[in-house]
Each structure stands twice: as C-alpha cells, then as structure tokens.
Chain A
Amino acid sequence: MQQTSDKPRMKNDIEKLEFSTILASSIHDMKNSLAMLLGSLADISSVCQGEHCSQKISKIRHEGQRVNRDLIQLLTLYKIDKKRYYLNIEEVEVYDFLEDIREEYAYLLADHGVEITLDCDDGICGFFDKELVYGVLSSIVNNAYQYAKNKILIKVKHDNDYLILSIMDNGAGYPKQMLHDPVAKTTPSHFDTGSTGLGLYFAAQVASLHRNKKRQGYIQVSNNEAKGCGLSGGCFSIFLP
C-alpha cells in the first residue's frame, strides 16, 4: 500500500507579497475605516447638543485626522526610502489649494476659537506635488492650532524663483532646540517630545524632492517675535523651486 503524506503541508507556491503591497493595502483598509469613523462622528456632532459634548467630539475627529495623516506619511516615507515615490508636479492654483486646507480645519478651529487667515493673491500659481504638500501643510496647521492662542496665518509669496508657503501662529513659538539643532529638521531624533519631529522630517523630505532647474526645495523653522512679518509665534516655511 502506498503511503500518502499524513499531513497537508503548507506549500511554498504561495505568492509572497512585497512589503510595500502589504503596507499599502493595510493602509487602504485603515483609511476606509477612518473615513467611516470620521463620517459617523460628523453625523453625531450635528445632532449633539452642549459645549462639552461637541468639544469632545471635535477632539476625537482631530485625532482621527491625525492618524490618517500619519498613515499617509508612513506610506510616503516608505516609498521615498525605497525610491518608489514619483513626484506628480502640476500647476496648482495656490489660493484654491490653501482654501481646501482651511475648509478641512474649519470645524476644528471654530470649536477652539482659532481664526485662520489666508494672505495670498488670487491667481498665484505654483508647481508642486499637490498631495504631498497638502500632507505637509495640513500637519503643520494641525500642529500650529494646538499652540496658537487664537490666530493662524498662511502667507504666500514668490521670492527668488521660489514659491514660499508659510504658516504662522501667535503662540509661544517653536522650542529652542528645534531652531538651533539642524538635525531636528532632517531626522526624527526627538520622538519623546511628540510627533513634531517626524512631521518636520516628512516636510523636509517632501521639500527636497521638489527640484527645478538645479534648485532644490527646503524648509525653514523660525520664531517670529522680532520680525513683525506676520504673527509673533512659530513660523514654518516651505520653499518650493
């Protein structure tokens, strides 16, 4: 009698998925769930009464948005690292673009009494990867609102062939080591101080991906108390060639 193998064995012919595929599909799933979660929250907040309740809800929404942004950052940074991210440079109407960001934060900022102003002429056009820069700016706005007293200003100007997008607040400003430690701008070395390190690291990566005629993008972090160019708190700028 011929013996057959007693146990069904795991075959080796299962197609091995690339890690980036696994990451991408997990993130895809998580984002779908987040979309449902945030959508349901928006529904609840429209019927819920009372200041206490709505503040709690907006806190949850805010955290949900943050998780979403982090997921996108994670996937993008992974792809940049593997040299699999290709920029999609297109001409962007900057005012419209920034208005999208303002709309996204409208509910949150209103709940916290923070006012957001755009200082941008209609008709300014920029050339950049919309999705990446959106990710950068929304994470900075998100950060700024936590530190701002009651004002955030987004300022746009053209200077020396660079498009400069600056986000300022009237809070206490960036901590000293962030301004003076250049490493903090490029590597997330201070995880214990919060998410800012990774956010700025992401911003710096995104900026440096942008190139035009031998010029490369970069970011700048400063405190504005002396300059009078906007508000007196922290000021983040991304320079896009």
Chain B
Amino acid sequence: MKLWTLKTKYILIVDDFAGMRTMLRNMLSPFRPEHIAEASNGAEALRQIEEHDFDIILCDYNLGPGKDGQQILEEIKERELLPYSSIYIMTTAENTSEMVMGAVEYSPDDYLSKPFTKEVLIARLKKLIKRKSSLKMISQATQQRDYEAAIRLCEQQLEDKPSNRFELLKIKTELLLRINDYDAVEALVKPILEEREIPWALLYLGQAHFHRQDFDKAKFIFEDLIEDYPNYLFAHDWLATLHRETRNYKEAQKVLEKATEKSPKAIKRQQVLAEVSFENEDFDTSEQSYKRITRTGKNSYYISPDDYSGLANVYLQKGCISDALDTISDMRQEFKKSEPIKNMKSHINEAFLYHRLERDKDTHRCLDTVTDIFIKEPGTVTSADAVELAKLCYALDRKDDGNRFIQFAIKNNHDNQDALQEISEALESIGISQDEIDALLKSREEVIEINNRGVQLATSGKIGESISLFVKAATAMPENPVINLNTAQSLVMFMNKSGPTQELLAETKKYLDNVTFNGKPSEKYRILTQSFQQLSERLDAANIR
C-alpha cells in the first residue's frame, strides 16, 4: 500500500500566533509536506493566496485586527481565488455551531475546534481529500456552468448508494435550482422530507414554490422553518425576500431585524436591512444599520461605496447636512486606494449626492472625474449606472457626456430588447424626444457591424486580426454577451491552431466570465467552455512532459 503523504501539497497556515503556526507545522511534519507557507494576518494570507494556488488552507478564525478567517474565505470565494479542489479548514476556539446555520455566506470545508490533536487533524485531512476527489467531476462541471452535466454526474454517483447520499442530493437540488427547474426540485425533495425533516430540503422546496410564484406555500414553509430552527438564518433571508416581492416591506424589515440581531457581522444581510428600512422611511433603523456596516464591515469584501452613500442619504432625509458631507468625505477616503470599480463607484455616488445637495460646482467636478476614468476604463461603469449618469448629465446640460453614457449602455445590450426598452423609457421620462432616442439607438448597428466584421475575419483565417478587433470591442462594451463570447471564441480558435498558453487561457477565461446568464447558459457558451477545458488540459499535459 502506498503511504499517505502531503509531499506534493501546497499548504498555507494562517494564525496570528507564531506558536500555533509552528505547532500545526509540527503536526503535519510526519507526512513530509514540502511546501508550507505561513501568514499571520488576513492581508498577508490574501497576498499569498493571490500568488499561489494552495491545496490546503488552515486558517484561524480569530486573527486579531484586520480580516478574520471568515472574511478571508468570503473574499477568496467571491474573487474566485480558491480552486474548487482546494480545502479550506477553519481552526477556531469559539463555538462553531453559531457560524454554520446560515450566519455566513460561505462555509469552509470543515471546522476544527481548538484544541485538536494531530490524529484528528490528519484524519480530517484524509477524509476531505477523499471527498474532494469524489466530487471532482461534479465541481468541475459546475464551475464550467455545465449544470446539466453536473446533474447527470450526481445521478450516476447516487446509483451506487454512496455514504454521502445526502450531500449529493443537496448538490443536485442546488443545481436544479440554478437551471430554474422547480418541478424537478419539488419531485426530488419531497421523498427526502418524508424520510426526514431536513432544514435545507425544506428551504429549497420553499424556494421552488417562491420562484413559481406560489407565495402562500413558500411563506408557510419559511415561517415553519424559522419557528423550528430559529438560528437558520437563510430561512429568514428568504422570508424577507418573499415579503419584499409581495410588497410587505414592513414585514420584511421585521424579519431582517430579527436575523441581523443574531448575525450582526453578516454584512450582506445588514445591507438589505439598511435598504428596506430606508424604503420604509424608518431612518433611525436605516442609520443604525448603515453605521454598523461602515464600522464593523471595514474589512469585509462586501462593503461598497453604496453603504456610505446610503448613510449620507439617510442624513439628508433627516436634514443633517454636515453629517452627510462628513460621510461623503469618509467614502472618498475609504475607497481612494481600492480597486478601480469601487473607486469609480465612490466618485459616481459623490456626484449624485452633491446634486441632491444642489452643489453644482462639486457635482460638475465629480462628473469630470467620472468621465475621465470612464473614457480610460469603460469597464468601471455598469450599464445601470451609465443610464443614471446619463440622466444626471442631461439635467446639467452635459449632453455629450450624457450621450456617451447612453450609447455605452445601448452597446452593452444591443441584442437585449428588454434592456433597450428600459433605456428608451428612462430617456423618455426625462423628456428626450423620440427622434433623439432613435438616433442614439443607431449605435446598435455599429455593434452589429463590428461583430460581423470580426466573425468574417475569423472565418477567413485572419484570426489575429479578428482577436484584436474583438478585444477592442469587448473593452468598449464589457457587458455585451455576444461580443464577449466571440472574443473568447476567436482566442480559442487561435489556441486550437497555435497551441494554448497560460496568458491566452487567462485572457479567454476573463471574457467567458464576463457573460452572465439567468439560469441555463447558452449552447455556445457550453461549447466554448468545453474547448477551454480541453485546451487547459492540453497545456497541463504539455507542462508535465
């Protein structure tokens, strides 16, 4: 029998206490790991994870000032820095049951409660490595958004009546929800529930009812769940969503208040509460909630300039002008050095707030900045923001800038009738004439023309030219699905001919990731991700040789 070893594994140990890191190292040492890295705080851990794909991360929950273990996990999941095959174990001296019942967005693969022995650590690692490899194909298909293939794989594995039957059933239900197949969710979950009342199964059944607009049934399930499992916070979230959908905003707020009381550190839930209570004109609650976000969420990936402008808007409603101005300057400070998108968002929010304060000079100054950044990096603005910015520009006699933003939104959505309709209506509502709107909508044709030219270049063998044309187009309209897919396709065609490289694969992945779907991805996307996968495997094989 081959001896179990950690020889080839890249391991990261994160703990603020050097003694603890050494101890963990010693526990692993009999299994001869050759690559162990250490980090003493969240920032250092993130830096290392950005540079390296780790197979195993052992991370302490409580890391002192800065990010905690949960915030690190959230950030690397959101930024997709953690490969699906990696194992993330949270070591903690606190009681973990409070963390697991939906208080958090993402759960680690396992919790290890301190103190633990070497034997327990190794036994867990062995189990997790085995489990990850048994789910490898399913996670791979899911990551490629080939949900149907992932479902088929679940079914195949379930045929053997494996010991992780419930885990597979849960994964399968989640996949069915992703492709919006709610009847199948119900059919799958009902027999499970006859066997045993399981919170997740009930929650997913409630979601299926919700999505089929069967709100009474869904409400009944969510309320029951909360009654029986008061700490199951996902049930609170769904009940609140349901109340909002059915326009019971007061009820939604009550549910969220209860849930945030149990999980004050969960920023996303706090953000929803802040928004809902603002809608309810309960400005005290909204203020309190925004303050909690901007104070305790400082290290969270989820904090955004919108939280600051939300708070500033509360102050404006209350007539506290100086507090609002302070909050604006806090926002500017806080996001000065953050990633371009958040930085841009803070400038955009600032412009809108100054406009509400009727400080035209400041508004223009902010719009100048926003326009400058936008021209250099169009990807920092979303279509939705662009439409709002355009409205503001028109109101302030900045017609050229307004047109610029509107055309950007139109180009992003040249193929999407619903979105175009919304844009037209937005323009109508601020008194833009139909002729002008039609003239703006002409920019659609530009996109069609570029796209056709790119496809023609590619099919006539001029792949290099096709790539540069599409890359330029995708930079100018980063949300456009047709352009992004064709950019990825031209890159794939190039690699099929000239061989894959790490850089080109990363580039391709970027364009594939720019495409979003509600439910099932398109056939074209599926075929492209398959080719992408084959090319990555080809590169891996070449590297091994």
Give A106 to B118 CA distance when docked, in angstroms: 11
Asked if A42 contacts B231 (CB within 8 A), the reply is: no
Give the residue of B23, B26, B94, B115 whose beta carbon is less than 8 angstroms from that of A28: B94
Asked, given contacts A39-B23, A91-B166, A104-B120, whether A86 binds B97 with beta carbons under 8 Å apart, the answer is yes
Does A213 make an interface contact (CB < 8 A)? yes
Asked if B118 contacts A42 (CB within 8 A), the reply is: yes
Give the residue of B122, B161, B167 whose beta carbon is less than 8 angstroms from that of A123: B161
Give A136 to B94 CA distance when docked, in angstroms: 18
Contacts of B166 in A (CB 8 A): 91, 125
Which of A9-17, A93-101, A188-196, A230-238 forms contacts with chain B? A93-101
Asked if B119 contacts A107 (CB within 8 A), the reply is: yes
The smallest beta-carbon distance between B326 and chain A, in angstroms, is 23
B17, B114, B127 interface centre (most CB from chain A within 10 Å): B114
Which of A30-38, A199-207, A216-224 forms contacts with chain B? A30-38
Give A32 to B98 CA distance when docked, in angstroms: 18
Task: Count contacts on B: residues with CB < 8 A to the other chain.
Answer: 41
The smallest beta-carbon distance between B490 and chain A, in angstroms, is 47
Residue of A nearest to B95 (CB): A75
Asked, given contacts A91-B166, A106-B119, whether A86 binds B101 with beta carbons under 8 Å apart, the answer is yes
Asked, given contacts A100-B123, A123-B161, A125-B165, whether A88 binds B95 with beta carbons under 8 Å apart, the answer is no
Does A103 make an interface contact (CB < 8 A)? yes
Asked if B26 contacts A43 (CB within 8 A), the reply is: yes
Which of B37-45, B194-202, B240-248, B361-369 forms contacts with chain A? B194-202
Residue of A nearest to B118 (CB): A42
Asked if B93 contacts A28 (CB within 8 A), the reply is: yes
Residue of B nearest to A135 (CB): B113
Contacts of A117 in B (CB 8 A): none
Task: Identify which of residues 127-157 in chain B touch chain A, using a CB-to-CB cut-off of 8 Å.
Answer: 127
Contact with A along B220-238 (1 / 0, CB 8 A): 0000000001110000000
Does B163 make an interface contact (CB < 8 A)? yes
Residue of B nearest to A43 (CB): B26
Does B20 make an interface contact (CB < 8 A)? yes
Give the residue of B20, B162, B165, B229 whose beta carbon is less than 8 angstroms from that of A36: B20
Does A178 make an interface contact (CB < 8 A)? no
Does B431 make an interface contact (CB < 8 A)? no
B17, B95, B118, B199 interface centre (most CB from chain A within 10 Å): B95
Give the residue of B114, B119, B162, B196 whose beta carbon is less than 8 angstroms from that of A32: B114
Asked, given contacts A35-B93, A127-B196, whether A100 binds B124 with beta carbons under 8 Å apart, the answer is yes
The smallest beta-carbon distance between B268 and chain A, in angstroms, is 21
B20, B94, B115, B127 interface centre (most CB from chain A within 10 Å): B115
A-B interface contact total, Cβ < 8 Å: 106
Does A208 make an interface contact (CB < 8 A)? no
Does A70 make an interface contact (CB < 8 A)? no
Asked if B93 contacts A104 (CB within 8 A), the reply is: no
Asked if A38 contacts B231 (CB within 8 A), the reply is: no
Does A212 make an interface contact (CB < 8 A)? yes
The smallest beta-carbon distance between B191 and chain A, in angstroms, is 15
Asked if A24 contacts B163 (CB within 8 A), the reply is: no
Residue of B nearest to A31 (CB): B93
Give the residue of B115, B124, B162, B196 whose beta carbon is less than 8 angstroms from that of A34: B115
Contacts of A103 in B (CB 8 A): 117, 119-120, 122-123
Give A1 to B421 CA distance when docked, in angstroms: 75
The smallest beta-carbon distance between A72 and chain B, in angstroms, is 8
Task: Identify which of residues 86-121 in chain B touch chain A, using a CB-to-CB cut-off of 8 Å.
Answer: 93-98, 100-101, 113-120
The smallest beta-carbon distance between B128 and chain A, in angstroms, is 11
Contacts of A64 in B (CB 8 A): 115
Give A35 to B116 CA distance when docked, in angstroms: 7
Contacts of B62 in A (CB 8 A): 28
The smallest beta-carbon distance between B62 and chain A, in angstroms, is 7
Task: Identify which of residues 250-299 in chain B touch chain A, using a CB-to-CB cut-off of 8 Å.
Answer: none
Give A213 to B100 CA distance when docked, in angstroms: 23
Contacts of B97 in A (CB 8 A): 85-88, 129, 131-132
Give A31 to B122 CA distance when docked, in angstroms: 20
Asked, given contacts A107-B119, A127-B198, A131-B113, whether A93 binds B229 with beta carbons under 8 Å apart, the answer is no
Does A122 make an interface contact (CB < 8 A)? yes
Residue of A nearest to B62 (CB): A28
Give the residue of B116, B117, B124, B198 whose beta carbon is less than 8 angstroms from that of A91: B198
Give A132 to B98 CA distance when docked, in angstroms: 12
Give A16 to B328 CA distance when docked, in angstroms: 33
Residue of A nearest to B99 (CB): A88
The smallest beta-carbon distance between A9 and chain B, in angstroms, is 28
Give the residue of B17, B100, B120 whose beta carbon is less than 8 angstroms from that of A88: B100
Asked if A38 contacts B95 (CB within 8 A), the reply is: no
Asked if B96 contacts A131 (CB within 8 A), the reply is: yes
Contacts of B197 in A (CB 8 A): 212-213
Asked if A99 contacts B114 (CB within 8 A), the reply is: no
Residue of B nearest to A122 (CB): B163
Contacts of B319 in A (CB 8 A): none
Residue of B nearest to A99 (CB): B123
Give A119 to B167 CA distance when docked, in angstroms: 24
The smallest beta-carbon distance between B125 and chain A, in angstroms, is 11
The smallest beta-carbon distance between B133 and chain A, in angstroms, is 16
Known pairs A122-B163, A123-B161. 17 more at Cβ < 8 A? A24-B94, A28-B62, A28-B94, A31-B93, A34-B114, A35-B114, A36-B19, A36-B20, A38-B115, A42-B117, A64-B115, A72-B95, A89-B229, A103-B119, A106-B119, A125-B165, A131-B97
A-B pairs, 10 with minimum CB distance: A86-B231, A35-B115, A39-B23, A103-B119, A35-B114, A31-B93, A123-B163, A91-B166, A88-B97, A103-B123
Interface residues of A (CB under 8 A from B): 24, 28-29, 31-32, 34-40, 42-43, 64-65, 68, 72, 75-76, 85-89, 91, 93, 95-96, 99-100, 103-104, 106-107, 122-123, 125, 127, 129, 131-132, 212-213
**26 chain-A/chain-B pairs, Cβ below 8 angstroms:** A28-B94, A32-B93, A32-B114, A35-B20, A35-B115, A36-B17, A38-B115, A39-B26, A39-B115, A42-B26, A68-B115, A86-B97, A86-B98, A86-B101, A86-B229, A86-B230, A89-B199, A91-B166, A91-B167, A91-B198, A100-B123, A107-B117, A122-B163, A127-B198, A129-B97, A131-B113
